[in-house]
Amino acid sequence: MTDQPSSAHHPGRGPGHGTGPVDNRVWVTTGVTFAGVLMLVNGVLFVLQGISAIAKDEVYVRLDDYLYRINLTGWGWILLILGVVAVLVGCGILSGATWARMTGIMLAALSLVAQFLFLPYAPVWSVIMMALDVFVIWALTAYHPDR
């Protein structure tokens, strides 16, 4: 027997230290901040993608047999509008506005659908953006500042 107390009896010691609900709040709060930054950056990228698709229709490869085919100028306007709204929502999320969290969830869901429809034009980029949208939705729904 040792004179040292067991870590099981002292909450501040041992491998279980730091795994309580406080850490979950820190994780979710950090996730919301990251989601706000992602919304802001994705918004800027959407604006740039939209401008390039509006400016020149040959930026992306055309697929004639794609079921959800839309004129690339149309895609450009969709991405441009989503981008401007995402920048505003990202700024709102970073400032802690409740309206921005709710709007961010809806915008990330719209972005997820838009990226799915844009999949044939830029498959790798679309899959990455869809994964980031899922993370943003999780972070914004898991965060409850009043608790």
Q: What is the Cα–Cα distance from 30 to 70, expressed in whole angstroms?
A: 37
pLDDT at 11: 47
pLDDT at 58: 61
Residue 72 falls within a domain, yes or no? yes
User: Which residues of the chain fall below pLDDT 70?
Assistant: 1-28, 57-70, 146-147
CB 87 within 8 A of CB 40: yes
Residue 28 falls within a domain, yes or no? no
Residue 16 falls within a domain, yes or no? no
CB 108 within 8 A of CB 133: yes
Q: What is the count of structural domains for the chain? A: 1
Provide the phi-psi class of 10: left if phi over 0, else alpha when psi is between -120 and 50, else beta. Answer: beta
Residue 13 falls within a domain, yes or no? no
Residue 138 falls within a domain, yes or no? yes
Contacts of residue 59, defined as CB under 8 A and 6 or more positions apart, other chains included, come to 52, 53, 72
Whole-structure pTM over 0.75, yes or no? Answer: no
Residue 54 falls within a domain, yes or no? yes
Residue 101 falls within a domain, yes or no? yes
Half-sphere exposure of 93 (CA within 13 A, CB side): 33
Using CA atoms, how far residue 11 sits from 2, 19, 24, 27, in Å, is 19, 10, 17, 20
Could you list the residue range(s) of the whole structural domain that residue 61 is in? 37-142
Residue 1 falls within a domain, yes or no? no
pLDDT at 98: 87
